[in-house]
Structure 1
Amino acid sequence: MNDSDKGWYSVLSPVAVKLYEWSLRRGGISRAEALEAAPGIGGSVADVSDALRTLIELSLLRSSLSEPDVLLPVSPESAIAEVVNPIEVDIKEREQQVGGLKSQLLSLNSLYFQSRQARNRREAIDVISDAESVRSVLAKEARACSVEVFSAHPGIFSERAIERSLPQGLELLRRGVRMRTLYQHPVRVSSMMRHRLTQLAAEGCEIRTCEEIPDRIVIFDREVAFIPDRMGSDGAVAVREPSTVDFLYRGLEQAWSTAVPFEDRSPSGIGYGAARSEMKRAIVRYLAEGAKDELIAHRLSISVRTCRRHIAEVMEELEASSRFQAGVLAMRAGLLDDEAVSVSETSLRLSRR
């Protein structure tokens, strides 16, 4: 049975059934008689011609040995034996072939999964040991990036780091690559960082700031993520395993959703702008937890001196005589629970009590 033979059993039309019935009543029909009887059978000449071909192919009509032009009706059982049985035999043979092929192919499954596991171990995580190699690999991924770069960076960039990274960021943006970057609030008061961020924002970079970023992460096209190598001070780890990259991406999305958009120009032209209340709320929370100045400064990526100045300002606004009292007053006023309340508003509430 070739491919063109497949589907015979699906074309037995109503005209073919009527034509077969008519041939049974007459004991046989000629082609010419069948075409002439088309109107009475309920079809056109073309319909009857197609029906004749179908009945012959299905062995329901067969040419008479004595009169080749006469087509004799054949019983359905005989047609089955002639047409269907060979198909069933062919199906059984093919089933045996399929079973044999399955067995052969499935025998290679263990080899495939062992190889894939070994390949994933080699490729899913790549440890890059030195800073120069990290920069080289990041530059390569940036050149190959076509959709999005999503990243988070704690602290303030050095002047050298700004000089290195700014051209690359501008090049990506000008190629139409979407860039979303998350920084900590102190970048807003760094003149070098504000200059860099303003340039990037002018080219379409989306920038937000937040209170704390645990560590640096860069994700290219949601396919490869770079995180710091904790075992080496200057190294990085490239992660390509899809589920892990997706997990890191969604975590970054969550941080992004609560961060404060960066303004090219704050209302006063300098300072934290819209992030000012968040910074002071963070300091109050750390005070309430009893954190040391050094820890607060580290978490917020500011100097200890700047941190102490902020603490003094917060204590003055809260009219607190000690750090502990500042934390207690903030808790009583609900500052640590209600993000909509500013430190100044809390001070006003306390003064009315």
Structure 2
Amino acid sequence: MDPSTGVGADQELPQLLELHQTLYRIALENGVLHTALVARELDRPTAEITEAVRDLAALRLLHPTQTAGADAPGEDPGASPTYTANSPDVATAHLNGPVDARIRQLRQRSDQVNNHVMIMRGVFEEARQSHYTRTGVERLTGIDAIRGVLERLTLTASVEIASAHPSLPAQPVIDEGRGRTTEAAERGIRLRTLYPHSVLSHPYMRQHLSTVAGAGVQFRTVGHITDRIILFDADTAVVADPDQPANRGALVIRDRSLARFLYRSWESMWDSGRPFTASDGDPSAAPKDDVRREVLRMLESGMKDEMAARRLSMSATTYRRHVSELLVELGAQSRFQAGSYARRAGWLVD
């Protein structure tokens, strides 16, 4: 490391030890640092002092004032190299100057590339819009893009927003969407939402449904929902994109015939759902009958615990607790037997 040029951007920074701090303090307190004199005063080898001083000089914490002469123990201190101290602010300004200049250069290059390539943005948007007009399907990528489209469709809906959600939403998601939901209800929009029965086993979800139902939103629960779907005025649908990771992609379907077909399928599921009532929102009494019935269906099908728990939007631990209770209640020796007993007893009706 060359003290005259400082520490390069790609070089490793020298470690600052107790000796470095001592030398820097001497230079600050005395106004000048004589390497040979300090070596004698500290009773340390001149080579060790010289190396530490080189580190401080490379970091621009010391600045040489005299370079004539050699660092030898018997030499006149006046002939040995001397240094004055710079403040850490001055030192970092010296060292970071070239780095900051390079950053500015790279930022200018980045802006240049963006401005040059983004000239084609208009062509891209025009072609994409033309494609969507022809196909009636728009692909969204990323949470921000999905959220933006949902907000616009919610604001422009004039009759109804119908939706189905296959799993329990995270509490922050629920809290974030509550305002948009109540605002739409206040505009007179009919809001109907489907959830799996299992979401009612979560107190905060029951409280949320009770709160929003008070604003006029209708909820029903069913045994299982395959995919998330949101329908706006029965002629625009937003569904999960199966080719992208969960919650990272969506398809906006504006083809009226296809959207109407999806709406009729949703209506069929709605008709089979169980309405959410005020008693369901009681935090002291989580409704279990529908949940237990779906657990029995899973047992009858032979589905593995982890997969069944995901399908019912509950943890594997909660699912196994339901299973244990049902085995005892039915006097069954196996999971499949429990499902069989439940059907013969009339607990399961297709």
Q: Which runs of 5+ in 2 are unaligned?
A: 1-129
How many angstroms apart in 2 are the aligned matches of 1:307 and 1:330? Answer: 17
Answer yes or no: is the 8 Å Cα contact 2:327–2:335 preserved in 1.
yes
Answer yes or no: is the 8 Å Cα contact 1:128–1:238 preserved in 2.
yes
How many angstroms apart in 2 are the aligned matches of 1:271 and 1:297? Answer: 21
Distance change in 2, residues 1:150/1:235 (3 Å): same
Correspondent of 2:274 among 249, 260, 272: 260
Give the match for residue 194 of structure 2.
Answer: 182
Answer yes or no: is the 8 Å Cα contact 2:206–2:280 preserved in 1.
no
Give the CA deviation at 1:199.
1.6
How many angstroms apart in 1 are the aligned matches of 2:135 and 2:182? Answer: 30
Whether 1:222 and 2:234 are equivalent positions in the alignment is: yes
Give the match for residue 146 of structure 2.
Answer: 134
Task: Write the letter of the residue equivalent to 1:308.
Answer: R
Q: Which runs of 5+ in 1 are unaligned?
A: 1-117, 340-353
Distance change in 2, residues 1:179/1:185 (3 Å): same
Whether 1:298 and 2:310 are equivalent positions in the alignment is: yes
* Equivalent runs, 1:299-338 vs 2, <5 Å: 299-336=311-348, 338=349
Answer yes or no: is the 8 Å Cα contact 2:309–2:315 preserved in 1.
yes
Name the larger-Rg structure: 1
How many angstroms apart in 2 are the aligned matches of 1:138 and 1:257? Answer: 25
How many angstroms apart in 1 are the aligned matches of 2:253 and 2:210? Answer: 30
Give the match for residue 76 of structure 1.
Answer: none
Give the match for residue 248 of structure 1.
Answer: 262
Correspondent of 2:205 among 166, 179, 193: 193
Task: Write the letter of the residue equivalent to 1:264.
Answer: A
Q: How many residues align?
A: 219
Give the match for residue 159 of structure 1.
Answer: 171
SS of residue in 2 equivalent to 1:266: helix
Give the CA deviation at 1:122.
3.9
Answer yes or no: is the 8 Å Cα contact 2:206–2:282 preserved in 1.
no
Give the CA deviation at 1:121.
5.7
Correspondent of 2:289 among 272, 277, 280: 277
Q: Deviations over 1:304-323 (max 9, x none)?
A: 00000111111111111221
Distance change in 2, residues 1:268/1:215 (3 Å): same
Task: Write the letter of the residue equivalent to 1:319.
Answer: G
Give the CA deviation at 1:301.
0.7
Q: Deviations over 1:181-236 (max 9, x none)?
A: 10111221222222221121001001111111111100011121000111112011
Give the CA deviation at 1:131.
1.0
SS of residue in 1 equivalent to 2:206: helix
Q: Deviations over 1:137-176 (max 9, x none)?
A: 1000111011100001121111221122110000000011
Correspondent of 1:239 among 237, 253, 257: 253
How many angstroms apart in 1 are the aligned matches of 2:216 and 2:318? Answer: 32
SS of residue in 2 equivalent to 1:149: strand
Answer yes or no: is the 8 Å Cα contact 2:206–2:283 preserved in 1.
no
Task: Write the letter of the residue equivalent to 1:333.
Answer: A
Task: Write the letter of the residue equivalent to 1:189.
Answer: S
Answer yes or no: is the 8 Å Cα contact 1:186–1:272 preserved in 2.
no
How many angstroms apart in 2 are the aligned matches of 1:294 and 1:259? Answer: 25
How many angstroms apart in 1 are the aligned matches of 2:132 and 2:168? Answer: 35
SS of residue in 2 equivalent to 1:253: helix
Give the CA deviation at 1:253.
0.5
How many angstroms apart in 2 are the aligned matches of 1:170 and 1:268? Answer: 21
How many angstroms apart in 1 are the aligned matches of 2:221 and 2:298? Answer: 19
Q: Deviations over 1:60-103 (max 9, x none)?
A: xxxxxxxxxxxxxxxxxxxxxxxxxxxxxxxxxxxxxxxxxxxx
Answer yes or no: is the 8 Å Cα contact 2:137–2:253 preserved in 1.
yes
Answer yes or no: is the 8 Å Cα contact 1:284–1:326 preserved in 2.
yes
Q: Deviations over 1:84-139 (max 9, x none)?
A: xxxxxxxxxxxxxxxxxxxxxxxxxxxxxxxxxx7666450000111110000100
Task: Write the letter of the residue equivalent to 2:250.
Answer: A
Distance change in 2, residues 1:282/1:224 (3 Å): same
What is the aligned-residue RMSD (CA, Å)? 1.9
Give the CA deviation at 1:329.
1.9
Task: Write the letter of the residue equivalent to 2:200.
Answer: R
How many angstroms apart in 1 are the aligned matches of 2:282 and 2:235? Answer: 40
How many angstroms apart in 1 are the aligned matches of 2:344 and 2:195? Answer: 31
Task: Write the letter of the residue equivalent to 2:328.
Answer: E
The normalised TM-score by structure 2 is: 0.59
Task: Write the letter of the residue equivalent to 1:133.
Answer: A
